[in-house]
Amino acid sequence: MSEMHVEGPVLGAIADGLDKGASGLEELAGSVPSGVDAGPMTAVIASMLAQVTDSAGDVSTSLTGVAALVRQIRRYYERADASAEASLTDIKDVMSR
Please check whether residue 84 lies inside any domain of the structure: yes
How much is the mean pLDDT over the chain?
90
Greatest pairwise CA separation for the chain in angstroms: 81
Please check whether residue 31 lies inside any domain of the structure: no
- For 39: left if phi > 0, alpha if psi spans -120 to 50, otherwise beta; the answer is left
Domain count, the chain: 1
Domain that holds residue 87: 40-97
Please check whether residue 45 lies inside any domain of the structure: yes
Please check whether residue 19 lies inside any domain of the structure: no
Q: How do residues 35-76 score in pLDDT, each as one tens digit?
A: 888 999 999 999 999 999 999 999 999 999 999 999 999 999
Task: Please report the pLDDT score of residue 61 as a whole number.
Answer: 97
Q: Estimate the share of the chain in helix, then strand, then coil, as percent rounded to the nearest 5.
A: 80, 0, 20
Please check whether residue 86 lies inside any domain of the structure: yes
Task: Please report the pLDDT score of residue 30 as a whole number.
Answer: 85
Please check whether residue 69 lies inside any domain of the structure: yes
Please check whether residue 96 lies inside any domain of the structure: yes
Please check whether residue 10 lies inside any domain of the structure: no
